[in-house]
A and B are shown apart, each in its own frame.
Chain A
């Protein structure tokens, strides 16, 4: 169990997190999402130990004296990772810090990477795979992936997810991903956290979220329904309702639709921007 308690963090004058609390269970896969600039990446950096909170603390739940950074695999959104080294050099260097065997770079080789070329000369997608191959080789208990996967082409992304799933199956790490693109990870995440301007707006298991969100197609809707967002779709009014509960008589299956994660998150996002 990882516990983030009363965290505050500001970049200079700009306060990003204030009195932030979050608990992560061991082995769960969590997706953090929300509008740009809301502090998603900051949470990852704090968890990774790359940033230190100004107030509050993070308890990773390890025995006293353990450096949590050595149990963590962090894929940040910047691609500055060992730029001037070759993948082979970077793998050795990284393993030296973590005291583990260097990555075989199998993942990078599958992506056609020449492991003797400088990392800065590789394509963005290849760089992500090199980095992923290296950080996953240290047997992490915590895997943190920032929003970098959108820059990876579908073929390489497929390879990358297979690798991640294999690691998840092998050693059940806790996984936290920051995402703005939900399609790929829709069925990987156990839990979704939506960060709004007032902090955590939603914290639900994916199964519960899908069970409790519906699109209602209807001109009129009873004010008892908690509407996230109303859209006009081809001349019809669509109300996205969460949490949804069937009330007798008012709504039939005819004008009720189940939704995928992209649609649900888009509605939360729209609600956050005050669109309705």
Chain B
């Protein structure tokens, strides 16, 4: 389910847009899948219906969805290079991680080592399963 962070200075339409894009690039929303109706989503999140309209319109402009008159809004990403979007989101995640690790007073080589240790652990864990 989508959720809105009331304490964020990022406008609601933008928060919603980012969540939908994240779902598209991580294959949790499939090509051709229908997004919730404006009314459904507005009522569920207690947000202004115009905000949902704005989100859907921007997603359409950006080439993530297509609206079909009277039917609704559907995921449609043919015009979009999703790998690029995925990389962009991954970069943001990484920046966030580095900034938080830096906040703990860690240096670049320590952050690298910590990350690769954890990744190795994960791989071994996967093998044992």
User: A: which residues have CB within 8 A of B?
Assistant: 27, 29, 161-162, 165-166, 168-169, 172, 183-184, 186-190, 207, 210-211, 213-214, 257-261, 263
Contacts and interface: CB of A to CB of B under 8 A. Distances in A.
A228 B51 CA distance: 29
A207 B46 CA distance: 16
Interface of B: 4, 6-9, 11-12, 38-39, 42-43, 45-51
Contacts of B48: 29, 165, 168, 187-190
A258 B46 contact: no
Contact of A166 (B11, B43, B46): B43
A169 B12 CA distance: 17
A172 B12 CA distance: 19
Contacts of A172: 50
B110 to A, nearest CB: 21
Contacts of B4: 187
B7 A187 contact: no
Given A187-B51, A188-B48, A169 B42 contact: yes
Contacts of A27: 50
Contact of A187 (B9, B38, B39, B46): B46
Nearest to B49: A169
Contacts, number: 58
Nearest to B7: A260
Nearest to A212: B9
B49 A168 contact: yes
- Which 5 pairs from chain A and chain B are nearest by CB? A169-B49, A187-B47, A260-B6, A207-B11, A258-B9
A155 B25 CA distance: 36
Nearest to A244: B9
A257 to B, nearest CB: 8
B14 to A, nearest CB: 9
Given A169-B42, A187-B47, 16 more contacts: A27-B50, A161-B43, A162-B43, A165-B42, A165-B43, A168-B48, A183-B6, A186-B6, A187-B4, A188-B47, A210-B11, A211-B9, A257-B7, A258-B7, A259-B7, A263-B7
Contacts of A166: 39, 43
A190 B51 CA distance: 9
Contacts of A260: 6-7
A169 B38 contact: yes
Nearest to A27: B50
Nearest to B8: A258
A29 B47 CA distance: 11
22 contacts: A162-B43, A165-B42, A168-B42, A168-B48, A169-B38, A169-B42, A184-B46, A186-B6, A187-B4, A187-B6, A187-B12, A187-B45, A188-B46, A189-B48, A190-B48, A210-B9, A211-B11, A214-B9, A257-B7, A258-B9, A259-B7, A263-B7
Contacts of B51: 187
Contacts of A162: 43
A172 B39 CA distance: 12
A156 to B, nearest CB: 14
Contacts of B49: 165, 168-169
Contacts of A211: 9, 11
Nearest to B9: A258
A162 B11 CA distance: 21
A191 to B, nearest CB: 11
Residue among A161, A168, A172, A187 with max Cβ neighbours from chain B (10 Å): A187
A259 B46 CA distance: 19
Nearest to B48: A188
Contacts of B39: 165-166, 169
